[in-house]
A and B are shown apart, each in its own frame.
Chain A
């Protein structure tokens, strides 16, 4: 079945440093979504990428979707302590009989040292 691998599992940075997390899918995706989960909280939607090669920005966050629609990345520029949390990618199966099946990556836990 579809697998989504996310790396790294943990990332510790000093405040002001950049941060990147990567997702790779074993199959072609219809779209990919990114979520953030604060410690003790629930996942909150950040963005959805649909088109091959798409790049979207939200302030200091840059999201990319690969040309083959099998990989994606999230880059945070100049991290702040408010960026602390776990970042998940989630890939939507590209058709067939299981269109609604969403597969999450394992998540990257980001800690930011002030």
Chain B
């Protein structure tokens, strides 16, 4: 089944404890992206990747890192999480940049 998977789905952590949210797609898509969703603010793009080894900042990249070493994986790294990073995070992929995006199920992160 063609899909985007994210892990974990739920995470409660404390300020400053490094964490990684994984994202994987099995559709051989070139484009992958991370979003955070907060009430009243919609979806805001954190980082995106047009292809392997190519990443670019979205609208809210501060406090996040990404890497794209393989086509299928696009992990989101929070080196030192803070409470303002409490949010619902979505990973998405598309065949190429600008095409329809397929979203993962989301990761609900709480930083205490």
Contacts and interface: CB of A to CB of B under 8 A. Distances in A.
B103 A43 contact: yes
Interface residues of A, number: 25
B54 to A, nearest CB: 9
Interface string B85-112: 0000010100001111111111000000
Contact of A33 (B35, B45, B101): B101
Contact of B43 (A43, A92, A99): A43
Contact of B48 (A48, A102, A107): A102
A92 B40 contact: no
Interface of A: 1, 6, 9, 30-31, 33, 35, 42-45, 48, 88, 90, 92, 98-107
Given A42-B103, A104-B43, A105-B42, A99 B90 contact: no
B46 to A, nearest CB: 11
A92 B50 CA distance: 13
B31 interface: yes
Contact of B98 (A6, A9, A43, A92): A92
Identify whether the interface residues of A are mostly helix, strand, loop, or mixed: strand
Contacts of A106: 40-42
A101 B35 CA distance: 11
Nearest to A99: B97
B103 A44 contact: yes
A100 to B, nearest CB: 4
Contact of B105 (A42, A45, A103): A42
Contacts of B43: 43, 88, 90, 104, 107
